[in-house]
Amino acid sequence: MTLREIKELLDAEVLVGHDQLDKEIKTAFGADLMSDVLAFAKAGSLLLTGLTNPQVIRTSDVLDIAAIIMVRGKRPSPETLRLAEELLIPVLTTKYILFETAGKLYAKGIVGCMERVDDERAFT
């Protein structure tokens, strides 16, 4: 699914990244805990969250998240938007709650990610 199709599906408003709507998305991760996102989300995933602070953008930058969907009509602060523009990370906002947002995407074939890194990758 492209980001443009996702925007239509979720009746979302694009706040940052109008020029990146042709990006292809296959996986998504919904979370309010940034450490969960850091532990589990795959590069190239869509991040669905109720948080709007600048750390959402930083976390997405660290993980190469494809785009962020802020749910429940949440709008980020100008500071958050500036950072997203600087780091070229698309931000969309939808009026749906996380439950409906994830449900609609799942029904269209987007899958979740669970990429727990093993404890056993120590030097041997």
Partner 1 sequence: MAAWKGLTTNVLSHEPALYENSFPVEGGTYENAGHVSSQIKALLKGMKISKEVVRRAALVTYESEINICSYARSGKIVLRVTPEHVTIEAIDEGQGIVDIELAMQEGYSTATDRIREMGFGAGMGLCNIKNFSDFFRITSEIGKGTHLKMVIRIDKDFDGI
Partner 2 sequence: MHLEDIVKALKLRVVSGEDGLAAEVLGGYVGDLLSDVMANSKEGDLWITRQTHQNIVAVASLKDHAGIILVQGCNPAADTLDKARKEGVPIMVTDMPGFEAIGKVYNMIATKKGPDPST
28's CB contacts (< 8 A; 6+ apart) are 45, 46, 47, 48, 102, 105, 110, 111, 112, 113
| Residue 34 neighbours by CB under 8 Å, 6+ apart | 51, 55, 56, 59
d(CA 38, CA 99): 21
Gap between the Cα atoms of 15 and 52, Å rounded: 12
Considering the complex, what minimum distance in angstroms separates the CB of residue 75 from partner 2? Answer: 15
Alpha carbon 69 to chain centroid, angstroms: 5
Least Å from the CB of residue 76 to partner 1: 13
Amino acid type, 76: P
Task: Using the minimum distance from each CB to partner 1, give the nearer residue, 8 or 62.
Answer: 62
List contacts with partner 1 (CB under 8 A): 32-36, 38-39, 43, 49, 51, 53-56, 58-59, 61-64, 87, 116-119, 121-123
- Partner interacting with residue 28 (select from partner 1, partner 2, none; CB below 5-8 Å by kind): partner 2
Question: Footprint of partner 2 on this chain (CB under 8 A)?
Answer: 28-33, 36, 40, 48, 50-51, 72, 97-100, 102-107, 110-114
Binding partner of 54, given partner 1, partner 2, none, CB within 5-8 angstroms per partner class: partner 1
Closest distance of CB 95 from partner 1, Å? 21
